[in-house]
Structure 1
């Protein structure tokens, strides 16, 4: 019986599954995003996230642990140098899965899995976030920030607008 065994076997024996996930992890680290089936993307997320967490602390022991999982020297080097530098302050959630629809041949659910910090489209409009608690700020703190933020901007922007409107009025009267 398989009571409590929730691991997705992906229709493969253990060595084949481990090799496939290791290869997919190398591709994800190298290319920063890959397209695959939804089931494989979910399995890959569980496989890669602990490795990225290990890479945040660059020690010989952590490098050996990660190398024992993915078995690619270049991927390990890139993971510890580039990826770890970008995700150093992130507490988790290093990958994002985006559903792409169904594959034409067999109607399998397709998905794109990517490293979160490398997507310029999602990160372009968002400023750098500060760490916050679940509760958020009090109303008093919000009001103080708004007053401080709006006061200097209102004075700077209102003065040039008034001058511009004074300049425009004589021009329209001359015509």
Structure 2
């Protein structure tokens, strides 16, 4: 029984999984929106929310906790100076996961994970459909 077992294994070793999730979080903070599989997006959301909460605290210990996970001073600076202050009035729910269908090659369920308040994915898709209907 899997009672109270958290997280997904994602068919990776522990070290590979940790590195992959750190890279996904770094990419999310750098680009504000990334496309990945649904399972990876849901798992990335868990860590990204925690890291943004550390960024909101803004103290030295929080910075060290973030650097322990993502290991990029540039990305940590973006997190602490740009992203986290924009969420001061929000108590969680900093990211959004939107399903976008299946991947052509292996029919894996794909999703977009994005930071709330940055380039709304739904608006982009509706704008593209409006442009096609006008032509």
Q: TM-score range by the shorter chain?
A: 0.7 to 0.9
Q: 1:11 to 1:52 in 2, by over 3 A?
A: same
Give distance in 2, aligned partners of 1:8 and 1:121: 25
Cross-structure match for 1:65:
65
Change (3 A) 1:122 1:87: farther
Distance (whole Å) between structure 2 residues aligned to residue 39 and residue 94 of structure 1: 18
| Bigger RCO of structures 1 and 2 (CA < 8 A, at least 6 apart) | 2
Q: What does residue 133 of structure 2 align with?
A: none
The match for 2:112 is 112
Shift of 1:121: 6.8
Match of 1:40 in 2: 40
Query: C-alpha displacement at 1:88, in angstroms?
Result: 1.2
- What's the TM-score, normalizing by structure 2? 0.85
In structure 2, the gaps of 5 or more residues are 124-135
The residue matched to 1:110 in structure 2 has which SS? Answer: strand
Distance, in Å, in 2 between the alignment partners of 1:122 and 1:92 is: 21
Task: Specify the alignment match of 1:100 in structure 2.
Answer: 100
Alignment RMSD (CA, Å): 1.7
TM-score with structure 1 setting the length = 0.66
Q: Distance in 1 between matches of 2:122 and 2:34?
A: 17
Q: Go from structure 1 to structure 2 and tell me whether the alpha carbon gap of 1:90 and 1:16 turns closer, same or farther (over 3 Å shift).
A: same
Deviant stretches of 4+, over 4 Å: 120-123
SS in structure 1 at match of 2:117: helix
Partner Cα separation in structure 2 for residue 4 and residue 67 of structure 1: 28
Q: Distance in 1 between matches of 2:22 and 2:4?
A: 25
